[in-house]
Amino acid sequence: KAGVTQTPRYLIKTRGQQVTLSCSPISGHRSVSWYQQTPGQGLQFLFEYFSETQRNKGNFPGRFSGRQFSNSRSEMNVSTLELGDSALYLCASNGGQRGEKLFFGSGTQLSVL
């Protein structure tokens, strides 16, 4: 089975721009979660999608948004980028019933200049 695919791997943007990140989960998985990872805060939950519906959202501003398509692929968008948005953005494909089997992609490393 192919793993979780995230594109692009690296992005460099400037303040004020917007960015869209893409995630293809493991085939058959219908739930996708997004996380932000920074050295200071560690891994923080952004949101989760299941069958094209946002099921839960973390404590992030409205500039962070996402969506899921009928084929379970997901995108997240960050508008009006700030320097503090520089981070590794990770997508996870949910293979369990209780969150016990999250499989992560390699992430998108976003640098905001």
The contact set with other proteins (CB under 8 A) reads 4, 6, 31-33, 42-45, 48, 50, 55-56, 58, 90, 92, 94, 96-107, 109
CB of 100 to other proteins, least distance (A): 4
Q: Supply 4's token pair.
A: 């979780």
Q: Identify which of residues 49 and 78 has a Cβ nearer to other proteins in the complex.
A: 49
Q: Vertex 91, ends 112 and 87: CA angle to 5°? A: 20
* Rounded Cα–Cα distance for residues 38 and 99 (Å): 22
CB of 103 to other proteins, least distance (A): 6
b/e 58-96 (16+ beta carbons within 10 angstroms → b): eebeeebbbebeeebebbbebeebeeebbbebbbbbbee
Q: Identify which of residues 24 and 31 has a Cβ nearer to other proteins in the complex.
A: 31
CB of 93 to other proteins, least distance (A): 9
Q: Identify which of residues 8 and 16 has a Cβ nearer to other proteins in the complex.
A: 8
